[in-house]
């Protein structure tokens, strides 16, 4: 799945333009990715059937008391207003053993008005796999207005297996380069074999480098880590803002600890009831919706490299370009050519935010018209977390480790992919095949999944604010509707627009509603659309 918090970080740093305007007439925007049935790709409005996530006991088990009662040793960590510490948690909550404990990185900046302090505000940028510590230190001052920062400690906790919290590491730079060059839309048996071999190399590297940690990086365990931190920070309730995958983490927390829910904002929401096939296929549809929005804008311009025939013509031309690059990768000025898979990744990355559309037009112009793949390669590298020296961030490794542990693989082998391929391509002619074949990586995962789809009611929790964007590529709007519907206290705020996530500079209307919720604990009227 292509959700990533790195894009949220980039959006905040770029300072996207504000768009104002709100309504609360109860009408839902019609333009969004469709629900897609898990069996045949047809659209459906029926909520998926998933077992409920049962809350944990409100009493803290005696074996876990040392973790809940620990003191953090805060110290300076390179950012003048931030402190850093290490939180100790059990590797396995069901069998805690101090010899196996893991250490999680935490950062905070204190509320600037201590007399009006509400509490700590945890944040998670998604992925899964993106560092919440880096996000808090790099984005809190831009994302949250001074009024919010005055009344909350800004807190980032790197989930287990990510960032500074014993990160999962799988491949070195050259090996990851080779993995990213592998054709993800194989055309014959030989290419299928190459893809499977590449996946096996990736998963073996994860197992060799991460060991037992691979069995204990689930979202449920990370949610339990957040509850330990809540207590250690001295708060009776958890206040939290999560983006993309961070919405799943926040929702799982609410399901496990409903009585400890404070003010939770879940922006660019995921629907935890969906199985892997439904999630991937609907996400492919989300990217298709986002691409068509970009294409309509692009093809209205005389210099659009995808022609002037609207979204349908642009999609056909892009697929023709992919076929050409598949047959003959483009030069990039370095020893890594632009392959079809890297081109697809570069295009998908730029669809996360409307302000990246001009960059995508330029990159496609250079590639389609001039045969120069350098700019699309840079976009793909940004998504993949590849640094200028060839090193990779650990985001993508943690992304796979958490995703494959949280839910069983959608397709077990190549034959299963071939059976599902048509439904993926129906959901997204432009991206469907890539999403379909990508499901094979979890099929090769060396650890059995510990989770699966769940329905989260969080009965008894305070109001939870869910934010959905109608043309979000990575987390389709239908997911926000689904999460708000299943949460007993869920309140949906809709942003009618483009891009991944809405809070933090995209819409003045959304920002005002979220800030009112955080400061006054007031939710927008039912049906509010910005």
Catalytic residue status for 80: no
The one catalytic residue among 381, 500, 507, 511: 500
pLDDT band at 79 (very low <50, low <70, confident <90, very high): confident
Q: What is the pLDDT of residue 405?
A: 96
What H or E segment, with its residue span, contains residue 86? strand 83-89
- Using the predicted structure, report yes or no on whether residue 287 has a pLDDT greater than 50: yes
Query: How is 380-436 classified by DSSP, letter by letter?
Result: HHHHHTB-TTS-B-SHHHHHHHHHHHHS--S-SSHHHHHHHHHHHHHH-TTTHHHHH
Q: Strands, DSSP E only, in 158-312?
A: 238-243, 261-267
Dist. CA 139–CA 13, nearest whole Å: 7
Given a cut of 60, whether residue 22 has pLDDT beyond it is no
Q: 158, 472, 496, 498: which is the annotated catalytic residue? A: 472
Q: For residue 505, what pLDDT is reported?
A: 86
Out of 1.10.10.10, 3.40.190.10, 3.60.20.10, 3.40.50.1820, which CATH number does the structure's domain 6-35+107-159+219-273+458-520 have? 3.40.50.1820
Read off the pLDDT of residues 163-172 as tens digits, 9 standing for 90 and up.
Answer: 999 999 999 9
The pLDDT of residue 80 is: 76
Round to whole Å and give the CA distance between 481 and 477.
7
Q: What percent of the chain has pLDDT over 70?
A: 91
Catalytic-residue membership of 472: yes
Catalytic residue among 244, 315, 341, 428: 244
Instruction: Answer whether residue 1 shows pLDDT above 60.
Output: no
Would the pLDDT of 86 be above 80? yes
Tell me the three state secondary structure of residue 168: coil
Positions of CATH 3.40.50.1820 in the chain: 6-35+107-159+219-273+458-520
Does position 25 have pLDDT exceeding 90, yes or no? Answer: no
Q: Which residue has the tokens 């995921």?
A: 270
* 94 C-beta neighbours (distance < 10 Å), count: 9
What tokens were used for 197? Answer: 């071999």
Task: With a cut of 50, say whether residue 37 has pLDDT above it.
Answer: no
How confident is the model at residue 43, as a pLDDT? 36
> For 393-401, what is the mean pLDDT?
93
Structure confidence by residue, pLDDT tens digits, 446-460: 999 999 999 999 999
Cβ atoms within 10 Å of 314's Cβ, excluding its own: 24
Q: How does residue 400 score in pLDDT terms, banded at 50, 70 and 90?
A: very high
Between helix 340-350 and helix 310-327 the angle, nearest 10°, is 150
* Whether the predicted pLDDT of 493 surpasses 60: yes
Rounded Cα–Cα distance for residues 189 and 187 (Å): 7
For range 172-192, the mean pLDDT: 95
pLDDT at res. 410: 85
The answer to whether the pTM exceeds 0.85 is: yes
Q: Which residue has the higher pLDDT, 150 or 13?
A: 150
Residue 362 CB coordination number (10 Å): 15
| Lateral strand order in the sheet of 152-157 | 75-76, 83-89, 102-109, 152-157, 119-124, 238-243, 261-267, 464-471, 490-498
Mean pLDDT estimate for the chain? 90
| pLDDT at position 78 | 72
Check whether 6 has a pLDDT greater than 70: no
Per-residue pLDDT tens over the stretch 472-486: 999 999 999 999 999
Average pLDDT over residues 288-308: 95
- Which residue, 89, 489, 2, is CA-closest to 283? 2
pLDDT tens for residues 207-262? 999 999 999 999 999 999 999 999 999 999 999 999 999 999 999 999 999 999 99
């Amino acid at each position: 799945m292509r959700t990533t918090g790195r894009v949220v970080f980039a959006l905040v740093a770029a300072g996207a333009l504000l768009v104002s305007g709100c309504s609360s007439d109860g009408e839902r925007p019609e333009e969004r990715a469709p629900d897609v049935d898990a069996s045949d790709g047809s659209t459906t409005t029926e909520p998926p059937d998933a077992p409920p996530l049962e809350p944990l006991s409100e009493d803290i088990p005696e074996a876990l008391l040392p973790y809940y009662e620990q003191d953090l040793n805060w110290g300076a960590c390179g950012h003048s207003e931030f402190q850093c510490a290490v939180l100790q948690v059990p590797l396995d909550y069901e069998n805690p053993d101090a010899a196996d404990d893991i250490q999680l990185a935490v950062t905070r900046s204190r509320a600037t008005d201590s007399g009006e302090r509400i509490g700590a505000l945890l944040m998670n940028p998604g992925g899964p796999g993106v560092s919440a510590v880096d996000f808090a230190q790099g984005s809190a001052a831009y994302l949250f207005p001074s009024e919010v920062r005055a009344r909350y400690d800004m807190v980032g906790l790197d989930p287990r297996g990510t960032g500074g919290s014993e990160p999962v590491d799988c491949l070195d730079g050259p090996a990851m380069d080779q993995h990213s060059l592998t054709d993800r839309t194989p055309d014959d048996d030989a290419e299928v074999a190459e893809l499977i071999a590449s996946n096996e190399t990736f998963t073996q590297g994860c197992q060799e480098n991460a060991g037992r940690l691979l069995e204990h990086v689930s979202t449920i365990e990370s949610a339990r880590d957040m509850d330990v931190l809540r207590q250690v920070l001295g708060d009776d309730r958890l206040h939290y803002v999560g983006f993309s995958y961070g919405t799943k983490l926040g929702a799982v927390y609410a399901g496990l600890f409903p009585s400890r829910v404070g003010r939770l904002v879940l922006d660019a929401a995921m629907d935890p009831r969906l199985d892997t096939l439904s999630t991937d296929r609907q996400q492919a549809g989300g990217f298709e919706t986002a691409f068509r929005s970009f294409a309509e804008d692009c093809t209205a311009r005389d210099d659009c490299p995808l022609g002037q025939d609207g979204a349908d013509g642009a999609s056909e031309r892009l697929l023709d370009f992919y076929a050409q690059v598949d047959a003959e990768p483009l030069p990039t000025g370095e020893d890594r050519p632009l392959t079809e898979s890297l081109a697809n990744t570069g295009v998908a990355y730029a669809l996360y935010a409307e302000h990246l559309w001009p960059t995508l037009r330029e990159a496609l112009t250079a590639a389609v018209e001039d045969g120069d793949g350098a700019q699309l390669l840079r976009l793909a590298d940004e998504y993949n977390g590849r640094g200028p020296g060839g090193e990779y961030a650990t985001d993508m490794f943690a992304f796979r480790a958490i995703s494959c542990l949280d839910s069983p693989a959608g397709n077990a082998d190549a034959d299963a992919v071939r059976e599902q391929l048509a439904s993926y391509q129906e959901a997204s002619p432009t991206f469907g095949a890539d999403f379909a074949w990508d499901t094979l990586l979890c099929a090769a995962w060396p650890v059995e999944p510990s989770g699966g789809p769940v329905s989260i009611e969080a009965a008894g929790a305070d109001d939870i604010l869910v934010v959905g964007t109608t043309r979000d590529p990575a987390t389709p709007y239908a997911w926000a509707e689904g999460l708000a519907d299943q949460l007993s206290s869920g309140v949906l705020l809709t942003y009618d627009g483009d891009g991944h996530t809405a809070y933090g500079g995209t819409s003045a209307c959304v920002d005002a509603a979220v800030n009112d919720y955080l400061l006054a604990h007031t939710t927008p009227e039912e049906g509010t659309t910005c």
